[in-house]
Amino acid sequence: MTNLNAGLVIRRGNAADFVRRVQEAEGRGVGAVWTTVGGPMADPVTAYAAAGALTERVILGTAVTPTYPRHPVTLAAQAMALNDLAPGRIRLGIGTSHKPTIEGAYGIPMGKPLAHLREYLTVLRALLWDGAVDYSGSYFTVKMALPEGVSAPNIPVPISALRQNAFRLAGELADGAISWVTPVDYLVTTAIPAMDEGAGIAGRTRPPLIAHVPVALTTDRDRGRNAFRSQFSVYGKLPFYAAMFADAGFPVNDAGEMSDGLVETLAVVGDESEIRSRLAAIRARGIDELLISPVIVEDEATELEALSGVLAGH
């Protein structure tokens, strides 16, 4: 069976349920799990500590941890604690989040998000890979080092990316780019070349592109697409995503509603065989890794078990 190199997004909520879901994913052979982060819910970065201690193999990733609410030194300290409990299994995805959340809900001015992300990444990655940072910028001024005898944990830090400049930054400085609800054609024609350009500027090999793919396991294609619309409708209403969709050739309407063509290109719908085939075809287009969000159509437990089997190569 072809290795899809695909991880599973774990739904957030109660921390104990979250940890149980991570354990179930590992038990079913899933190689990596991911979680979104942020808002007034049980913090999954914290919950990963329990999940890391109770699992042995599964990779634990954030996709992504918003940068504005946590200082990069604070996040580095959290990541090091996780790495102590799950050595070599942490991937610390970070991103700026969105204006309605950061400015509207948190009340934090965003300024220039990409510049903020560049500085945050520089500080965070220096601590995690070099063990020390001496940096002064517009958003952060940090001078500190890990205590004597403490080695840098070398935790990979991919960043979220929606548009060309962010993908270029990922190629230049990050340990990968994480897309989210993004057409594959756009990733192939825009994201990968931008990452190549950024990597060229830095004189290094392009890091991996991790592509988010919503998947509905059902033979009823209409129900699958409707479930996707219901569960992912917010993205058409977010300015950053609306701009990316327009760049990709799928502009949303004034109400932020996604066209049929956009839904068709974003969501993979089908039975286990079709899903396996579609995901393999996406990987074959030069995508390094997949990040799968389950789109629940009817019965979550049954669909998650079957989808996990697909991702595990069963």
- Domain contains 74: yes
> What is the reported pTM?
0.96
Per-residue pLDDT tens listing for the chain (314 residues)? 468 999 999 999 899 999 999 999 999 999 999 999 999 999 999 999 999 999 999 999 999 999 999 999 999 999 999 999 999 999 999 999 999 999 999 999 999 999 999 999 999 999 999 999 999 999 999 999 999 999 999 999 999 999 999 999 999 999 999 999 999 999 999 999 999 999 999 999 999 999 999 999 999 999 999 999 999 999 999 988 999 999 999 999 999 999 999 999 999 999 999 999 999 999 999 999 999 999 999 999 999 999 999 999 87
How many domains, in total, are found in the chain?
1
Q: Indicate which CATH number applies to the domain containing 125.
A: 3.20.20.30
- Domain contains 63: yes
- Domain contains 85: yes
How many CB atoms sit inside 10 A of residue 81's CB? 16
The DSSP string of the chain is -----EEEEPPPSSHHHHHHHHHHHHHTT--EEEE---SSS--HHHHHHHHHHH-SS-EEEEEEEESTTS-HHHHHHHHHHHHHHSTT-EEEEEE---HIIIIIIS----SSHHHHHHHHHHHHHIIIIISEEEEE-SS-EEEEEPPTTPPP------EE--SHHHHHHHHHHSS-EE--S--HHHIIIIIHHHHHHHHHHHTSPPPPEEEEEEEEE-S-HHHHHHHHHHHHGGGGGSHHHHHHHHHTT----TT-PPPHHHHHHH-EEE-HHHHHHHHHHHHTTT--EEEEEE--SS-HHHHHHHHHHHHHT-
- Domain contains 231: yes
Contacts of 129 (CB under 8 A, 6+ apart): 152, 154
- Domain contains 1: no
Residue 20 structural domain:
6-312
